[in-house]
A and B are shown apart, each in its own frame.
Chain A
Amino acid sequence: MIFRPDLFIPELFQIGIIATLFVLAVGKPSWSRNLIWLPWVAVVGVIVSVFSLGAEGTIFYGAYSVDALSQFFKLVIAIGFAMAVYNAVSPSHVDEEKRADYFLFLATSAFGLMLLCSGVELITIYLALEISSYSLYALIPLRNRDKQQAAEAGIKYILFGAVVTAVAMYGLSFIMAAYHTTYIFELAHVSWSLDHYPMAVLGLTLFLCALFYKLALFPFHFWCPDVYQGASNETAAFVATLPKLGAVVVLIRFATLLEPGMHVTTILAVLAAASMTFGNLVALVQKDLKRLLAYSSVAHAGYVLLGIVAGTPEGLAAASFYSLVYLLMNLTCFWVICRMSTDGRNLVLDDLNGLYTRSPILAFILAVCAFALVGLPPTAGFMGKLFLLNSAWAQGYEWLVVVAVVNTAIAIYYYLNMVRHAYTMEPREEPLHISGPTMVWGGIFAASILLLGTVPGPVFRFAQTAGQFFMP
């Protein structure tokens, strides 16, 4: 089947948003001034994605697979998009006449990521990856203060992104040369032994590099802190979360190629361990909150890899579940930062001082996020991590599990530092004024993190069906 619109509904909805924003962007400047409705439309998008959870089939000559995995991740991306839009819609961190353009790029990037969820063919994956990246290249420099820094961040992102893209293309050419196919399900049945097919393995490794770059996995993380710091808080929230989901979903698709004991798997395991340890150690000395979260995301990329390294349906389900949790806790953390940074500047740890007296509810939400990011119960971060540890240990990666739990002990210091500043230091600034709806939404975000930590069963069941996706 070439095309079936019924399998394409979440994407079509996203295209609708993009088209509307496009009209607003090219229309009169006054049109794009009031975009308060946009988050609600994005929430409708979430509902649409929920309803298309059960869809199954392939379109575009088998290059585009709609299955439990893709639909789960499309839902997560829709949730993330709604949160990111809600986060970015109220303050004026971009100039007013550019607001429609800003959200246009945001929506396009999310659209590209949705395509990425369903890509089961290397060229499709590549195209989807580029759609989502190109919009981000334009997004990052859009900031109405520290423009030089923002431009620097943008250039860094483009430059590194372009190099990695080229490397991925190069790798793709090796794979095609070795096996004459780009469909993952065909590649799943061929040998990936370094001794017998060095060219194919080299190609796969190079292609994976592009994904690692998106995921900000050590040693492909170097862009991450600078870009987060240069971009506006709201953009950083998006860049820090959603593109990583795209990378995770493709890695999950690739996991069908991987088996324990393979060279590539071993490399992945080593990278996971290095990424966790490096990210956490460097985060210990960070003062800028966005840089701190950047290094924490490097560490979290390592955690997600635990599930992919395991490669079992449980492991992939755990990785999917953890991606959702990661998105929730990171976006909520950024959400608090954006609410605190009323003038759009970058926050440092000392800016958190006395948050407890300035706004108790924000302090509470921040504490929930921080403890979730450490992986402390009863938050979702703990459950996600536990599932990952279980699946990795079951496949004999005991050493990796030990590295992961020891990392928790390292990570606690800097996350706890955030809580310490918020709760025990004297405030330097006036109380924050948080509006009612903002408080309610923040409360919902925090509650969902706690709820996923105490009753993860129902959501994990969805992740499980996603982990057992059917390869045609």
Chain B
Amino acid sequence: MADFLFNVWSKIQSEFYIMHTSTFPVLSALLFFPLIASAVLFFVRGEKNIRIFTLVVGFIQVALALPLLSFDLTYAGFQFVELRSWVPAWNMQYYLGVDGISILMVFLTVLLLPLCVLCSWSYIGTRVKEFHFCLLLMTTACVGIFVALDFVLFYIFWEAMLIPMYLLIAVWGGPDKRYASIKFFLYTLAGSTLFLAAIVAFFIHTGTFSIPDLMEGTYSFRFQFWAFIAMAIAFAIKVPMFPFHTWLPAAHVEAPTAGSVLLASILLKMGTYGFLRFCLPLTPSASEYFAPLMIAISIVSIIYGGFVALGQNDMKKLIAYSSVAHMGFVTLGIFVFTVRGVEGALMQMINHGITTGALFMLVGAIYERSHSREISDNMGLGKYLPAYMAFFGLFALASFGFPGTNGFVSEALVLIGVFAANYWLGALAIPGVMLAAAYMLRLGLKLAWGQPTQAKTWSDLNKREWVYLTPLAVLVIYLGLGPGLALKTINPSIEKLLHDFEVRKEQVVAVEQTTETRHAEHKEQPPSFFTEQGERVLIFHSQQAQESPVKLIEAKGAQIDWPYLAGLEKKSGIMTRGELP
């Protein structure tokens, strides 16, 4: 018996060990598990079974993300890298990886799936199967956006996400859902069409879609200028920044609770993630050139979003406009190019995702009781729904950055970064913080003590609502009191990002290459091949070999199949072996 137990234990240990090495494709599992589950969902019958099935899928998805906890906090590059050949004809690769910039967003995305299932438990009553199908597809697409390291792969997830989101709004939305859903789709798609042109331009310029490779290229200022515009429009619409924000309130108001949560927590972050992942590393000179404009727009977003939120009577609209303001802080933090600013921006992405997601869940919960989102229909909850108001108060405080909550950490960091960059700029952003307090307190006060109240007969939070709000509340307090671990996670990647940014913004190729030489360069790419493990190896000829004998893809945990390489060496007579750079 003891032997048997020992065997089982060692087996579990070895399994666990495998989970912790790079041989277990964590990121692929996170991508494909919801996809496979969505196919299985077709065969599940009964509304309750569907909900339970998706909930279980969500929990397994969270468990699948646990190996990511072995993330190396000291390493700034990409980890958990997976690299396979995909479409060799166009040098497209199945290339996944996370670094400090993306890993927290992956965690947040994975965490939201079960919470979204729970908060839609009684809210969604029609077409239940299709709703959960869309949720699972959304999860795949959202995870994909944050882990994709190939430009085409990224774009596929970026666009594919639109379809389930469109359906979430168009099928399960409020009375004006058709208008809102079409507006959402048209806005975001129109923005990203030029982004596709930019991707094509980068490919023709360098011959690769691999984002880490592209980050090492140098581009002329003219190229950067246009590429930045094409990408920034796509990202600015997604964020959304001031002149492009009109789709957001419409979409938020009409979307079902889970749709609003996903919109607020993940979709908006895709835009700012795009700025961090693409604009800063790929087009550094243009980013610096456009920074004053971006900062101006950010400040306008902060102030404008705050003022408009102040005047709203619809709770969802209020929170939607507050999102415009909060996301303004993110873009502001990014474009001052200081470590604190970018750290704050990234933390604000996470924190806004947590608090605003939670606020939308709370609005959804009260909507189920009052069937109205108007503030005037939901007043005076403090006496009758104390637990609800406690949660609401906590998230509202976090939303305007009250000390001790996560919102404080990120907004303080952004402001420190902004003040470090420019004193006057910081002074301009301060009214935004005060506005946030004004509109959130106005909302909170009316909800808690406003009169007349209709809440006498309403029940307080039930167990299910407790379950989905508690994790977010814990995160609010944890990130508010002990943000150290999160900061340590993101810090190396951000320092590398800014270091590269400072170095590379000077390396502008003065003369635009002609089409012909570009084409020739594309042809003269060093030959590369894939090992059986899927790593790409670039082979350099022996003359160049003295400097860098073999350039392997810079990936932590990438394994080299030495016998295979040796065989290749014999066959081709080309020097392939060498040290990792």
Contacts of A103 in B (CB 8 A): none
User: Known interface pairs A394-B519, A424-B177, A460-B89. Does A406 touch B193 (Cβ–Cβ under 8 Å)?
Assistant: yes
Most buried by B among A387, A405, A408, A464: A405
| Docked-complex contact B189 and A412, CB < 8 angstroms | yes
Task: Using C-beta atoms within 8 Å of the partner chain, give the interface range for chain A.
Answer: 35 or more
Most buried by B among A378, A386, A393, A457: A386
Contacts of B515 in A (CB 8 A): 394-396
Query: How near does chain A come to B263, taking the closest CB pair, in angstroms?
Result: 18
**379-433 of chain A: CB within 8 A of chain B:** 382-383, 386-387, 389-390, 393-396, 398, 401-402, 405-406, 408-409, 412-413, 416, 420, 423-424
Q: Which of B163, B167, B178, B194 contacts A402 (CB 8 A)?
A: B194
**138-158 of chain B: CB within 8 A of chain A:** 152, 155-157
Q: Which of A378, A382, A401, A455 contacts B197 (CB 8 A)?
A: A401
User: Known interface pairs A376-B163, A377-B159, A387-B90. Does A409 touch B189 (Cβ–Cβ under 8 Å)?
Assistant: yes
| Docked-complex contact A317 and B197, CB < 8 angstroms | no
**166-220 of chain B: CB within 8 A of chain A:** 166-167, 170-171, 177-178, 181-182, 185-186, 189-190, 193-194, 196-197, 200-201, 203-204
Q: Considering the chains assembled together, what is the distance between the CA atoms of A416 and B200 in angstroms?
A: 25
Most buried by A among B155, B189, B522: B189
Q: Considering the chains assembled together, what is the distance between the CA atoms of A398 and B167 in angstroms?
A: 34
Most buried by B among A317, A387, A395, A416: A416
Indicate whether A461 reaches chain B with its CB closer than 8 angstroms: yes
| Docked-complex contact A412 and B201, CB < 8 angstroms | no
Q: Considering the chains assembled together, what is the distance between the CA atoms of A184 and B189 in angstroms?
A: 43
Q: Which residue of A lies closest to B198 (CB)?
A: A405
Q: Considering the chains assembled together, what is the distance between the CA atoms of A380 and B85 in angstroms?
A: 18
| Docked-complex contact A390 and B204, CB < 8 angstroms | yes
Q: Considering the chains assembled together, what is the distance between the CA atoms of A409 and B162 in angstroms?
A: 14
Q: Which of A317, A386, A393, A455 contacts B204 (CB 8 A)?
A: A393
Task: Using C-beta atoms within 8 Å of the partner chain, give the interface range for chain B.
Answer: 35 or more
Contacts of A396 in B (CB 8 A): 515
Indicate whether B573 reaches chain A with its CB closer than 8 angstroms: no
| Docked-complex contact A412 and B185, CB < 8 angstroms | yes
Contacts of A398 in B (CB 8 A): 201
User: Known interface pairs A376-B162, A386-B152, A461-B89. Does A393 touch B190 (Cβ–Cβ under 8 Å)?
Assistant: no
Q: Considering the chains assembled together, what is the distance between the CA atoms of A186 and B85 in angstroms?
A: 40
Indicate whether B86 reaches chain A with its CB closer than 8 angstroms: yes
Contacts of B87 in A (CB 8 A): 383, 456-457, 460
| Docked-complex contact A378 and B160, CB < 8 angstroms | yes
Contacts of A387 in B (CB 8 A): 90
Q: Considering the chains assembled together, what is the distance between the CA atoms of A398 and B518 in angstroms?
A: 14
Indicate whether A371 reaches chain B with its CB closer than 8 angstroms: yes
Q: Which of B85, B159, B185, B204 contacts A416 (CB 8 A)?
A: B185
Query: How near does chain B come to A58, taking the closest CB pair, in angstroms?
Result: 27
Contacts of B200 in A (CB 8 A): 386, 389-390, 393, 401
Q: Which of A314, A382, A394, A395 contacts B159 (CB 8 A)?
A: A382
Contacts of B189 in A (CB 8 A): 376, 408-409, 412
Q: Considering the chains assembled together, what is the distance between the CA atoms of A402 and B196 in angstroms?
A: 9
Contacts of A389 in B (CB 8 A): 196-197, 200
Q: Considering the chains assembled together, what is the distance between the CA atoms of A237 and B552 in angstroms?
A: 51
User: Known interface pairs A393-B204, A416-B182, A420-B182. Does A386 touch B163 (Cβ–Cβ under 8 Å)?
Assistant: no
Query: How near does chain B come to A186, taking the closest CB pair, in angstroms?
Result: 28
**440-472 of chain A: CB within 8 A of chain B:** 455-457, 460-461, 464
Q: Which residue of A lies closest to B92 (CB)?
A: A457
Query: How near does chain B come to A82, taking the closest CB pair, in angstroms?
Result: 27
| Docked-complex contact A409 and B190, CB < 8 angstroms | yes
| Docked-complex contact B156 and A377, CB < 8 angstroms | yes
Contacts of A402 in B (CB 8 A): 194, 197
Q: Considering the chains assembled together, what is the distance between the CA atoms of A330 and B182 in angstroms?
A: 23
| Docked-complex contact A405 and B89, CB < 8 angstroms | no
User: Known interface pairs A377-B156, A389-B197, A457-B88. Does A412 touch B186 (Cβ–Cβ under 8 Å)?
Assistant: yes
Q: Considering the chains assembled together, what is the distance between the CA atoms of A461 and B85 in angstroms?
A: 14
Q: Considering the chains assembled together, what is the distance between the CA atoms of A456 and B519 in angstroms?
A: 24
User: Known interface pairs A389-B200, A394-B519, A420-B178. Does A377 touch B155 (Cβ–Cβ under 8 Å)?
Assistant: yes
Contacts of A405 in B (CB 8 A): 193-194, 196-197
Most buried by A among B90, B177, B181, B522: B90
- 1/0 contact trace for B434-467 toward A, CB 8 Å? 0000000000000000000000000000000000
Contacts of B163 in A (CB 8 A): 367, 371, 376
Contacts of B177 in A (CB 8 A): 424
Query: How near does chain A come to B393, taking the closest CB pair, in angstroms?
Result: 37
| Docked-complex contact B171 and A423, CB < 8 angstroms | yes
Q: Considering the chains assembled together, what is the distance between the CA atoms of A424 and B162 in angstroms?
A: 16
Query: How near does chain A come to B244, taking the closest CB pair, in angstroms?
Result: 14
Q: Considering the chains assembled together, what is the distance between the CA atoms of A424 and B167 in angstroms?
A: 9
Query: How near does chain B come to A359, taking the closest CB pair, in angstroms?
Result: 14
Q: Considering the chains assembled together, what is the distance between the CA atoms of A191 and B156 in angstroms?
A: 43
Q: Which of B156, B178, B194, B204 contacts A424 (CB 8 A)?
A: B178
Contacts of B185 in A (CB 8 A): 412, 416
Q: Considering the chains assembled together, what is the distance between the CA atoms of A398 and B203 in angstroms?
A: 13
Q: Considering the chains assembled together, what is the distance between the CA atoms of A426 and B393 in angstroms?
A: 41
Q: Considering the chains assembled together, what is the distance between the CA atoms of A419 and B311 in angstroms?
A: 36
Contacts of B194 in A (CB 8 A): 402, 405-406
Query: How near does chain B come to A141, taking the closest CB pair, in angstroms?
Result: 39
A–B Cβ pairs within 8 angstroms, 24 of them: A376-B159, A378-B160, A386-B90, A386-B152, A386-B196, A389-B200, A393-B200, A394-B519, A401-B197, A402-B197, A406-B194, A409-B190, A412-B186, A412-B189, A413-B182, A416-B166, A420-B178, A423-B167, A424-B171, A457-B85, A457-B87, A457-B88, A460-B89, A464-B89
What 18 new A-B contacts, CB under 8 Å, besides A376-B162, A382-B156, A405-B197? Answer: A371-B163, A376-B163, A389-B196, A389-B197, A389-B200, A390-B203, A393-B200, A401-B197, A405-B193, A409-B190, A412-B186, A413-B186, A416-B185, A420-B182, A424-B171, A424-B177, A424-B178, A457-B89
Top 3 A-B residue pairs of the complex, sorted by shortest distance between their CB atoms: A377-B156, A409-B190, A405-B193
